[in-house]
Amino acid sequence: MSGRVVLIASWNADLTSHAGRPPARGETLMGHGFSIGPGGKGSNAAVAAARQGAQVHIVARIGQDAFGDMAMQLWRHEGIHTTHVRQVAGESSGVAQILVYPNGDNSIVVSPGANAGLDARQIQGAAATIAASRVLVASFEVPLAATLEAFRLARAAGVTTVLNPAPARALPAELAALVDLLTPNETELATLSGIEGDRGRAAQALLAQGVAAVLVTLGAQGAALYRKGQPVHTVPGHSMTVKDTIGAGDTFNGALAAALARGEPLELALRWANAAAALSVRASGAIAGMPSLADTAAVLQEAPS
C-alpha cells in the first residue's frame, strides 16, 4: 500500500559534460557528450519516490522559463502532485553544471536561481498536505528557513522527517532536533561532524546533537545505520556496471521515503533504498536509471538477506 511523501524540493536543469579529469584552477579542458536534463536533489528524490510507488507531493519554486516548463512536464509525467509548486515570472530556474569523469564520479556546481526564494510562507501554504503525509524529505539545496518550517510542521503532525544534508553545511541545533533520519555520504558526514576518518565517532557526534538516526551512504559498499544505544546496522552494496553516479544519493533518499511511507520497518526500508540507488548508476544522468518498484524488488529477491 502506497503512502504520501512530501518533498521540499530543489529543481535544477542539469547541464552535463564528460571530461577526462577535473580541471585545475584557471585551466580549460575539452569535454564531450554535452546534455541538458532534469535535476535538483529534491526533484530527483521525488521522481525516485514516485517510481517506487509513493504518492508524491512536491513543494518547489521554479522560474517561468524553458527549464521551469521542463520541470512541470517531468513531474506531471511521473504522476507527482504539483499543487504547491510556484512558477515565478522574471526569475531563472536553478541550474547545475556537472562534469562526469571516466570512472563515473562527478563534480557539480549549482546556481539555485528561483530555488533561493522558497520560504516559510510557501511551506505554510502546504501545511495540510504535510500533515497528511507519512514522510517529509528535504535537502540543503533549498533555503534553511523553508526546511525548518517544514520540519516543525512535520514533527507536530507526527510525520517522519528525512534530511539529505547536501550540499554539506553546519547543522543548526534546532533543525538537528527535528531530524528523524539524516542521510549523509561519507564526505558530508565529515563536514557535518568535523570528524574525519572515523565514521562511527562522526555519526555519534551527530546523534549527540539531537538527530534520531544517522544513515551513512557508502556507495558501492552499501550503507550503515547509527542510532543511540543500538549496534550499527549495515547493508552490503550491489555489484553494478557504473555508467555514472549522478542522482544515486537522491534515488536512495526517494526510495527510502517511499519504503517508509508504505510501512516498511527502517532496516528493510534501508535495503530497498540501497538496492534502488545501486540500480540507478547503470544509466547516464540523474533520473534515466531510477528503477521501478518491481525492478528493485527483483534485485532484493536475488540478494542475500
Label each residue of 179-228 as H, E or C.
CCEECCEHHHHHHHHCCCCCHHHHHHHHHHCCCCEEEEECHHHCEEEEEC
Q: Phi/psi of residue 214, each to 5°? A: -115, 120
pLDDT at residue 305, as a whole number: 55
Closest by CA position to 257, among listed 50, 118, 69, 111: 50
pLDDT at residue 284, as a whole number: 75
Indicate whether this model's pTM tops 0.85.
yes
Locate 48 and state its grid cell. Answer: 525516485
pLDDT at residue 242, as a whole number: 67
pLDDT at residue 240, as a whole number: 67
Q: Which residues are annotated as catalytic?
A: 250
pLDDT at residue 107, as a whole number: 87
pLDDT at residue 243, as a whole number: 66
Residue 207 has pLDDT above 90, yes or no: yes
Q: How far apart are CA 208 and CA 300, in angstroms?
A: 33
Residue 90 among known ligand-binding residues: no
| Secondary structure percentages of the chain, helix, strand, coil, to 5 | 40, 25, 35
Residue 14 among known ligand-binding residues: yes
Residue 193 has pLDDT above 60, yes or no: yes
229-280: pLDDT as tens digits: 999 999 887 776 666 777 789 999 999 999 999 999 999 999 999 999 999 8
Is the domain defined by 4-10+42-61+120-302 classed in CATH 3.40.50.300? Answer: no
Residue 253 among known ligand-binding residues: no
Q: How far apart are CA 116 and CA 145, in angstroms?
A: 11
Neighbouring residues of 239: CB distance < 8 A, sequence distance ≥ 6:
220
pLDDT at residue 36, as a whole number: 93
For the chain, percent of residues with pLDDT exceeding 70 = 97
Residue 136 among known ligand-binding residues: no
97-125: pLDDT as tens digits: 989 899 878 888 889 999 999 999 999 99
pLDDT at residue 236, as a whole number: 84
Residue 36 among known ligand-binding residues: no
Please give the average per-residue pLDDT across 64-91, as a whole number.
97
pLDDT at residue 187, as a whole number: 94
pLDDT at residue 104, as a whole number: 78
